[in-house]
């Protein structure tokens, strides 16, 4: 459903706290998307995809004393820089999943055709440290957003980001019919969000889809996630900026894909005639040790010379093996991954070696302490 042209709408400019009228382009009509978690890895790739398809994209950001929009810097257009330029097709709005009034205000202002709920406290290990907050954002936040969608003045198609962590201790391969057995507060919160989405679809007829995405990585992955922690260390070790990297369970097996491929599956779900839930995965599984071998080996290093096991990185309840069965997504959505495991690893290592080279310039010039690891 494209947004009707010729009508005026309102949008909140992040930073002014006010809702001011902003005219929509008169023609042609565009689809309008709202993304929560737009500053994250998936949000940035999804934004790029939607903009390439002619969407007008709006994103929710939380107020922070530090800027956290680095993944969007290449997309963001400051209207003050070139006042006579057209209104930017990506705009950011202050809101929070824990503040339902802010969600309803932004939905009223933006009037989206599609909502992608990617926001969460998404670090599994951290969820054991902040379980209440994880549940508030990841589970109850999703419920608040669904309720705002239900009360919207127009029909909205809704995507809920699920996680393979929801399967937990259930043996692989895991598909849409596999029972959930979450093993962390994060995973349990994602299960709640999943069933809230199903309930709103069945109770209110909302076009709502769950995407149960298996692990997906990229050079934009946060540096405290194990894959990026590894490739970041490879780059710094290669450039002589560090010697060791501290990790936990190396035998955990995951189905790792490229985030840029996976956001296409999100979009495809909302283009179907009927809403449904889909597992998105490469259908290949690799251990953390195999990731280490691939990353260090590609850089000409031996991981055993640099990896130290630290018990503090072991989870209270471990998920041993995740491997997805994405038959439904491949058949119905005509989706399949384009980037393989080795290509993904090399992409991330190449990026982080270049990043380490820039970091070394600062270290050599005395602007940064080489002992200060990211």
Is residue 370 within 8 Å of residue 363, measured between CB atoms? Answer: yes
Quote the CA–CA distance of 88 and 78 in Å, as a whole number.
8
Query: pTM above 0.85?
Result: yes
Query: Strand, helix or coil at 228?
Result: helix
Q: Nearest 10 degrees: CA dihedral of 56, 60, 66, 72?
A: -30
d(CA 353, CA 241): 11
H/E stretch holding 276: none
Tokens of 149: 């969608």
Would you list the domain boundaries of the chain? Answer: 32-222+256-284+321-339
Q: Is 165 among the catalytic positions?
A: yes
Identify the pLDDT of residue 66.
76
Q: Note down pLDDT in tens along the chain; length 374 residues.
A: 443 333 333 333 444 444 443 444 444 568 999 999 999 999 999 999 999 999 999 999 998 777 788 899 888 777 677 665 666 789 999 999 999 999 999 999 999 999 999 999 989 999 999 999 999 999 999 999 999 999 999 999 999 999 999 999 999 999 999 999 999 999 999 999 999 999 999 999 999 999 999 999 999 999 999 999 999 999 999 999 999 999 999 999 999 999 999 999 999 999 999 999 999 999 999 999 999 999 999 999 999 999 999 999 998 999 999 999 999 999 999 999 999 999 999 999 999 999 999 999 999 999 888 776 66
45, 116, 186, 200: the active-site residue: 186
CATH of the domain spanning 32-222+256-284+321-339, picked from 3.40.50.720, 1.50.10.20, 3.30.565.10, 3.40.50.2020: 3.40.50.720
Distance, in Å, from the CA atom of 122 to the CA atom of 120, rounded to the nearest integer, reads 5
Concatenated DSSP letters of 289-338: HHHHHHHHHHTT--GGGTEEE-GGGS-SS---B--B--HHIIIII-----
| Nearest alpha-carbon partner for 234 in 93, 86, 354 | 354
Question: CA nearest 91: which of 46, 47, 136?
Answer: 47
**Which segments within the chain are labelled E, that is strand?**
8-12, 19-23, 32-36, 56-61, 90-94, 114-117, 157-163, 208-213, 216-217, 245-247, 253-254, 257-258, 278-280, 286-287, 307-309
Count, residues in the chain: 374
- Dist. CA 194–CA 210, nearest whole Å: 6
- Residues 194, 161: Cα–Cα separation, whole Å: 8
Given this model, what pLDDT does residue 353 score? 98
Determine whether 18 is an active site residue. Answer: no
Helix, strand, coil shares, percent, the chain, to 5: 40, 15, 45
- The pLDDT of residue 144 is 98
Instruction: Output the CA–CA distances (angstroms, integers) from residue 112 to 17, 56, 68, 254, 342, in the order listed.
Output: 20, 9, 24, 35, 38
Q: How far apart are CA 34 and CA 16, in angstroms?
A: 19
169 in catalytic set: no
Q: Which of 41, 35, 113 is nearest to 71 (CA)?
A: 41
Candidates 48, 165, 217, 359; catalytic one: 165
pLDDT of residue 22: 41
Please, which residues bridge with residue 16 across strands? none
Instruction: Please check whether residue 164 is in contact with residue 322, taking contact to mean a CB–CB distance below 8 angstroms.
Output: yes
Provide the CA 61 distance to its chain's centre, in angstroms: 13
| DSSP secondary structure code for residue 139 in this structure | I
Record the tokens describing residue 128, joined without a space: 């054991």
Residue 267, pLDDT score: 98
Quote the CA–CA distance of 355 and 228 in Å, as a whole number: 12
Q: What is the pLDDT of residue 5?
A: 35
Set 163, 164, 218, 326: catalytic member: 163
């Amino acid at each position: 459903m494209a947004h009707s042209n010729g009508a005026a709408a309102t949008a909140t400019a992040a930073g002014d706290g006010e809702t001011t009228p902003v005219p929509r382009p008169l023609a042609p009509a565009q689809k309008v998307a709202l993304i929560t978690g737009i500053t994250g890895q998936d949000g940035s790739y999804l934004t790029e995809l939607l903009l390439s398809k002619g969407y007008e994209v709006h994103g929710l950001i939380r107020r922070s004393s530090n800027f956290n929009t680095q993944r969007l810097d290449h997309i963001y257009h400051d209207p003050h820089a070139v006042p006579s330029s057209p209104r930017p097709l990506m705009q950011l709005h202050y809101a929070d999943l824990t503040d339902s009034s802010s969600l309803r205000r932004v939905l009223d202002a933006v009037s989206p055709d599609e909502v992608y709920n990617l926001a969460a406290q998404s670090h599994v290990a951290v969820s054991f440290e902040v379980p209440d907050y994880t549940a508030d954002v990841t589970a109850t936040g999703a419920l608040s957003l669904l309720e705002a969608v239900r009360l919207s003045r127009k029909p909205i198609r809704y995507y809920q980001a699920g996680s393979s962590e929801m399967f937990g201790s259930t043996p692989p391969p895991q598909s849409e019919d596999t029972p959930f057995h979450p093993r962390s507060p994060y995973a349990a919160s994602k299960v709640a969000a999943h069933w809230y989405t199903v309930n709103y679809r069945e109770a209110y007829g909302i076009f709502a889809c769950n995407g149960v995405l298996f692990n997906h990585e990229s050079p934009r992955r946060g540096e405290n996630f194990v894959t990026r922690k590894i490739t970041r260390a490879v780059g710094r070790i290669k450039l002589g900026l560090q010697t060791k990297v501290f990790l936990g369970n190396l035998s955990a097996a995951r189905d790792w894909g490229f985030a840029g491929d996976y956001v296409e599956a999100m979009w495809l779900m909302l283009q179907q005639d009927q809403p449904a839930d889909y597992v998105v995965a490469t259908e290949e599984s690799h251990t953390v040790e195999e990731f280490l071998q691939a990353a260090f080996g590609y850089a000409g290093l031996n991981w055993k010379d640099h990896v130290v096991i630290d018990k503090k990185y072991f989870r209270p309840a471990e998920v041993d093996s995740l491997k997805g069965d994405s038959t439904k997504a491949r058949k119905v959505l005509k989706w399949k991954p384009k980037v393989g495991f080795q290509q993904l690893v090399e992409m991330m290592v190449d990026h982080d070696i270049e990043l380490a080279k820039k970091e070394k310039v600062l270290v050599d010039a005395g602007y940064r302490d080489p002992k200060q690891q990211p």
